[in-house]
Amino acid sequence: TKLNGGGGGRSGSIVAPLVVNEDFQRIDVNPPKGTRDFPPEDMRLRNWLFNHFKEVSRLFGYEEVDFPVLETEALFIRKAGEEIRDQLYCFEDRGNRRVALRPELTPSLARLVIQKGKSVSLPLKWFAVGQCWRYERMTRGRRREHYQWNMDIIGVPQVTAEAELISSIVTFFKRIGITASDVGFKVSSRKVLQEMLRKYGVPENLFGRVCVIIDKIEKIPVDELKKELGSTGISEDAIEQLLLVLSVKSLDDLEEILGGAGEAIADLKQLFSLAEKFGYSEWIQFDASVVRGLAYYTGIVFEGFDRKGKLRAICGGGRYDRLLSTYGGDDIPACGFGFGDAVIVELLKEKDLLPELGQEIENIVCALDKDLQGAAATVATALRSKGQTVDLVLEYKPLKWVFKRADRVNARRLVLVGKKEWEDGSVSVKVLSSGEQFQVKLNDLE
Ligand SMILES: Nc1ccc(Br)nc1
């Protein structure tokens, strides 16, 4: 490293030291492909969104939990052909362990519940907001990380659990100004598929795989869908009947096909009845084609959608009664949902509902004289100890500069430490909105 002629010292007018080192390459200052930085303005929106997630969760009596972003890869290895598996961000660590960046939170939650075992009493109502990852070939230029809000109920077999989860999401939407005219929930049950597959003698172990294929019903051509279903060994007749059932538009029509004795109809009728009691009937509709893309759902499934049909699913969830036992845990019923941080922001933009979130500082404190910097620090500390937010000007600056900064940080007032006033422990205060200016003893300033 070669320093230029000694100009790097602490002189009054610091000459920026020119460090020339041909070995330095300018690094790429952008975040890794598919990831985001959160500069202050973006972080304010993220905190606003996450605070609503968390406040709703606490309103419903849920406890916050979290897990490592890095998990054993085995937690996510399922052989049902899920996209989440194909895009697993997995690698071998320096200890030759197969690990993965979590693509979702539910498996970690299941792991923790099993780990806690009898030390926790059911039902558990837990929530988390955590970053989740996927490794997608950048060909599609999509993001590789997002934050997901999850709420889960562990240990309640009744549909009241799913009904409460949907109520919590409706509560969230209402808090941010989204109405039932903007968004709805498509609701169905995988027990519909289960009953159909049983009727056609399809082996139970194909259930998850068939659901994952059927989740593509609106994403791939029907012939391709039929081909994929056929590849599992299901007969053409069964496939035709399946697709017929999935096109059913009402619970009554579904009952016609399935008969009234099955759990699918009973669960769905109970859910729609509870929706009435929770007061969100206008938000939900039966849609037999909703199966969701995760293999482990076993019962009610639901997804939030924008009624204009311009965006991908906003959120989704359902019952997963077998997940804990697949990890070697007890057979504990569970249900939950995931709500990503991306589509909701697109929806808020669409509806012009993004909040205005500027920085807000109550005080800018500055010394009017070079040797009053210490006094300014005393003033700032006194205000901060009273819970006042303070931006302390940390080096001597002309007033013009201070006013500009006050404007940029949206300060409510200027607190000026001047020589004469400070001699009797006073400061000058200028309220920036009104221009009002007064002197006050520091101890009386609040
Ligand atoms: N599962 C998952 C993870 C990360 C993103 Br971005 N999308 C989906």
The residues, any chain, with a CB within 8 Å of residue 426's CB and separated by 6 or more, are 439, 440, 441, 442
Give the largest Cα separation in the chain, rounded: 94
Please give the single-letter amino acid code of residue 9. G
Query: CA 86 to CA 82: how far, in whole Å?
Result: 7
| Coil, strand or helix at 329 | coil
Place of tokens 């988390």: 128
Nearest-10 Cα torsion for 103, 105, 108, 114: -140
* Alpha-carbon span 179 to 182, nearest angstrom: 5
Mean pLDDT of each 10-residue bin along the chain, 446 residues long: 40 54 82 96 98 98 98 93 91 98 98 97 98 86 94 98 99 98 98 90 90 92 95 92 91 89 94 98 96 94 98 98 96 98 98 96 97 97 97 96 96 98 97 97 92
Give the integer Cα–Cα distance in Å for 365 and 77: 56
pLDDT, position 1: 34
In the structure encoding, which two tokens stand for residue 401, read together?
């500069």
Q: How far is the CA of 145 from the centre of ligand 1 (A)?
A: 6
- For residue 322, how far is its CA from the centre of ligand 1 (angstroms)? 23
d(CA 443, CA 378): 11
| pLDDT at residue 446, rounded to an integer | 86
CA-nearest of 273, 284, 200 to 242 is: 200
Pocket test for ligand 1, best of 132, 144, 296, 315 (most atoms within 8 A of CB): 132
Ligand 1 neighbours, Cβ below 6 Å, are: 84, 103-104, 132-134, 143-146
Between the CA of 153 and the centroid of ligand 1 the distance, in Å, is 22
Which pLDDT belongs to residue 258? 86
Closest atom of ligand 1 relative to the 104 alpha carbon: 1
Q: How far is the CA of 142 from the centre of ligand 1 (A)?
A: 9
pLDDT on residue 5 = 39
pLDDT at 11 (0 to 100): 43
Protein residue closest via CA to atom 1 of ligand 1:
103
Pocket test for ligand 1, best of 36, 87, 135 (most atoms within 8 A of CB): 87
Q: Which residues pair with 284 in a beta bridge?
A: 185
Distance CA 245, CA 232 (A): 19
Tell me, in angstroms, the distance from the centre of ligand 1 to residue 147's CA: 8
Strand order in the sheet with 98-101: 70-72, 98-101, 89-92
